[in-house]
Structure 1
Amino acid sequence: MSYAIDPELQPWLAMLPAISLEDMSVIRAAMADPAARAQGFQLPVYEPASPVSVEEKLIPGPAGAPDVRVRVYTPSGHNGPLPGYVNIHGGGFVIGDLDQDESLATRIADQIGAVVVSVDYRLAPEHPYPAGLEDCYAALEWTTAKASELRIDPSRIGIGGISAGGGLSAALALLARDRGGPAICFQYLGIPELDDRLETPSMTKFVDTPMWNRPNAVYSWQYYLGGQPADQYAAPSRAEDLSGLPPAYVDVCEFDPLRDEGMIYAHRLIQAGVRTELHHFPGTFHGSGLVEAAAVSRRMSGEMIDAIRRGLKA
């Protein structure tokens, strides 16, 4: 199919990595190979205006599970307790790591003045649901418990992520609400992966879109669920009650199979009385923000930072 992709993004299409989740060994080998990465599109690198200290820690994992690796980003030049932000990387629940979100986490810490805790959660298919989500919950609990040590104001802890990270963030908000867990003041759901049923118009139509498409979505959910039926914490779109959740900012891309499930979820949050902003970016596709020079990418990125700043009351 042909798509009316933003003219500034079109020249970059051939340079973007081809992602297929059909064979996990192939995609993971490609991600781990420096030569292969050098030939493809490079992840953005953010240079902070002021120093941001970075420290890796192993924190207690869920009961009976291994410790969870986190990376803590602390901005300099800020006095008093700071807002906190638990960042959850994307990757279809099956790929991705802390390095993938290094630039994003550094930028949030620097531009917002927040302490960012980035989570290296377990990946499917080796660790199907609920392993990754429980790791994220453990990181949220740890961040809250260690708020004073981390210089975080416990009343201003938000969560967020992009793609599968957005889906896990939505699930984490539901889980924290239903367990009576740590208070979350804001959730950023960036192009979120929310619905295993794969029935929306965008999901059925976009079978060959750049970076992410229906075939990848099918494999993603198969690996993540591992043969289990999905509940609302696996696929937040299945949740019947969205009331009492933290304020949200949701963004979606026009030519993304995940577009409609993100829009529907945002509308349902609004209907449930949750303060929610929704932004649809025309001409974009899943992962098009990697092309940082494009005006639409700058708008999308700028609005994300602004939304997180306001959500954290920074």
Structure 2
Amino acid sequence: MESKRNCLITHASGPKPRCDTRVKKQVTMDYLKNKSEYFSLDTDFKPLPKYGHLSEKTPEYIAAEPAIDAVQSRFWASPDFAAFRRAAGDPDAAMPPGGPDRYRDITTELLQFPARDGHLIELKVYKSQNVAPNATLVYRMHGGGFVVGRHEVDGAENVYAATNPNIVVVSVDYRLAPEFPFPRPVEDCYDGLLWCKENAKALGINPEKIIVAGSSAGGNLAAVMAIMARENGIAGIIAQVLHFPAVCHPKFFPRDKYEYGSYIQNSENPVLGTLRMEAFLNAYNPNPEPDYRHSPLIADSLANLPPALVQCAGFDVLRDEAFAYAEALKLAGVDVEIYGYQGVPHCFPAVLPTHPSTPVFYKRYNSFLEKYATISAEEN
């Protein structure tokens, strides 16, 4: 396996065919249930005191919500997840007004690496036209509920990061559930992290300066990578970016310790409602058992993890677990920046690029990356 991991396979453009030899089971989707498995959604719910006020929708979101709902409903009308993926595709993410020009300011390249079972996993590399040598790696895991999506789900964030000449972004196209359920996506991401460290020179990165990052399901995987690296003695993870993270399966959420009302309060969110999130979770981990690799909030310890940026949306089912994870990290002595944006949905910068909170979100993201990715003269 070690000799395979050291090979570097480069492609100029476009997704490459899968070479996995496992027989994949046919997926028949009755994925959306009529009733939640974990929450009572027909109760007269009252907003909880800490974060309930963040669900009040902004005027800009109210105006855009019907159009967002129409787009999302078309995807969720797909007969199975394979059709969902085809409908969603992986077009280059649009940049918000005033954002960088992705076709002028950065370059992209596709690579492949062999995972532990020999399957070739695609990586997409984003970097500045003027990238510095020995740059910081931002190792990116995309969102999509562990079931859909590829690199460009978070493409705008990848472009923003890559405009920093001290950063190289590498996005990993891990295998997706339900064909490849937990823990395969975790293993693919971890194998990719090790491969990047071992091939640091070819990538132009410093293997001891790595920021793990992701949104939604990718935020989960980024948090898990930080813990796995600590557990396995893998050095070099200097920070973590967790945007709209799913950090605990509802079956295991410690409701006695943290406020947990967003799944009920925001259940009808058209971007990611309760029943849709449960469909993703059931596909990813149909018979969950306690394990930090899918629910980092329940890890035995969160001590000695790298500093974290956590950003979440007020009108999002995942809101309260983002706050819970930030609180747990702080209690464990980890430096945390936590921001919650009132009245906007899950992953709002991608679906509401003109919202007034979107440039604030990116400014905080860029500032965090700048803080940890600055390259000293000694490193050059």
**Structure 1 unaligned residues grouped into runs of 5+:** none
Tell me how far apart the structure 2 counterparts of residues 69 and 237 of structure 1 sit (CA, whole Å): 29
Please give the TM-score of this superposition, normalised by the length of structure 1.
0.90
User: Residue 56 of structure 1 aligns with which residue?
Assistant: 110
CA offset at residue 43 of structure 1? 4.5
Alignment identity in percent? 27
Residues 90, 151 of structure 2: 8 Å contact kept: no
User: Is the aligned partner of 1:196 residue 2:249?
Assistant: yes
Please give the TM-score of this superposition, normalised by the length of structure 2.
0.75
CA offset at residue 183 of structure 1? 2.2
User: Residue 96 of structure 1 aligns with which residue?
Assistant: 149
Cα distance change of structure 1 residues 145 and 21 upon mapping to structure 2, 3 Å threshold: same
CA offset at residue 23 of structure 1? 7.1
User: Residue 294 of structure 1 aligns with which residue?
Assistant: 355
Cα distance change of structure 1 residues 182 and 59 upon mapping to structure 2, 3 Å threshold: farther
CA offset at residue 261 of structure 1? 0.6
User: Residue 171 of structure 1 aligns with which residue?
Assistant: 224
Provide, for residues 215-250 of structure 1, a one-character-per-residue CA deviation record: whole Å limited to 9, x for no partner: 122112111113242411111111120001111010
User: Residue 158 of structure 1 aligns with which residue?
Assistant: 211
Letter in 1 for 2:368: A
Tell me how far apart the structure 2 counterparts of residues 65 and 25 of structure 1 sit (CA, whole Å): 31
User: Is the aligned partner of 1:304 residue 2:354?
Assistant: no
Letter in 2 for 1:6: T
User: Residue 14 of structure 2 aligns with which residue?
Assistant: none
Cα distance change of structure 1 residues 81 and 279 upon mapping to structure 2, 3 Å threshold: same
User: Is the aligned partner of 1:29 residue 2:83?
Assistant: yes
Letter in 1 for 2:193: L
**Structure 2 unaligned residues grouped into runs of 5+:** 1-44, 46-54, 254-259, 376-380
User: Is the aligned partner of 1:141 residue 2:202?
Assistant: no
Q: Which one is further off, 69-78 or 80-89?
A: 69-78
CA offset at residue 8 of structure 1? 2.1
User: Is the aligned partner of 1:11 residue 2:63?
Assistant: yes
Residues 20, 216 of structure 1: 8 Å contact kept: no
Provide, for residues 243-268 of structure 1, a one-character-per-residue CA deviation record: whole Å limited to 9, x for no partner: 01111010111111101111011111
Tell me how far apart the structure 1 counterparts of residues 134 and 120 of structure 2 sit (CA, whole Å): 27
Residues 144, 182 of structure 1: 8 Å contact kept: no
User: Residue 135 of structure 2 aligns with which residue?
Assistant: 82
User: Is the aligned partner of 1:280 residue 2:340?
Assistant: yes
Which of 284, 292, 304 is residue 244 of structure 1 equivalent to? 304
User: Residue 186 of structure 1 aligns with which residue?
Assistant: 239
Cα distance change of structure 1 residues 216 and 20 upon mapping to structure 2, 3 Å threshold: farther
Tell me how far apart the structure 2 counterparts of residues 100 and 72 of structure 1 sit (CA, whole Å): 14
Tell me how far apart the structure 1 counterparts of residues 324 and 348 of structure 2 sit (CA, whole Å): 21
Residues 156, 313 of structure 1: 8 Å contact kept: no
Map 1:225-240 onto structure 2 (within 5 A). 225-240=285-300
Residues 89, 162 of structure 1: 8 Å contact kept: yes
Cα distance change of structure 1 residues 15 and 43 upon mapping to structure 2, 3 Å threshold: farther
Residues 49, 110 of structure 1: 8 Å contact kept: no
Provide, for residues 160-182 of structure 1, a one-character-per-residue CA deviation record: whole Å limited to 9, x for no partner: 01011001111111111111124
Cα distance change of structure 1 residues 311 and 182 upon mapping to structure 2, 3 Å threshold: same
Residues 54, 73 of structure 1: 8 Å contact kept: yes
User: Is the aligned partner of 1:265 residue 2:344?
Assistant: no
Provide, for residues 111-147 of structure 1, a one-character-per-residue CA deviation record: whole Å limited to 9, x for no partner: 4641110000011111011111111111111111111
Residues 171, 234 of structure 1: 8 Å contact kept: yes
Indicate the RMSD between aligned Cα atoms, in angstroms.
2.6
Provide, for residues 60-103 of structure 1, a one-character-per-residue CA deviation record: whole Å limited to 9, x for no partner: 21x22512110111212233321111011001111101232333
Tell me how far apart the structure 2 counterparts of residues 228 and 210 of structure 1 sit (CA, whole Å): 26
Map 1:125-136 onto structure 2 (within 5 A). 125-136=178-189
Residues 76, 84 of structure 2: 8 Å contact kept: no
Q: Which one is further off, 218-227 or 3-12?
A: 3-12
Tell me how far apart the structure 1 counterparts of residues 113 and 326 of structure 2 sit (CA, whole Å): 32
Residues 72, 118 of structure 1: 8 Å contact kept: yes
Tell me how far apart the structure 2 counterparts of residues 33 and 173 of structure 1 sit (CA, whole Å): 32
Letter in 1 for 2:94: P
Tell me how far apart the structure 2 counterparts of residues 194 and 240 of structure 1 sit (CA, whole Å): 14
Residues 131, 168 of structure 2: 8 Å contact kept: no
Residues 140, 212 of structure 2: 8 Å contact kept: yes
Residues 75, 84 of structure 2: 8 Å contact kept: no
Residues 127, 165 of structure 2: 8 Å contact kept: no
User: Residue 269 of structure 2 aligns with which residue?
Assistant: 209
CA offset at residue 28 of structure 1? 4.5
CA offset at residue 48 of structure 1? 3.6
SS of 2:207's partner is: strand
Residues 251, 280 of structure 1: 8 Å contact kept: yes
Q: Which one is further off, 224-233 or 130-139?
A: 224-233
User: Is the aligned partner of 1:119 residue 2:177?
Assistant: no
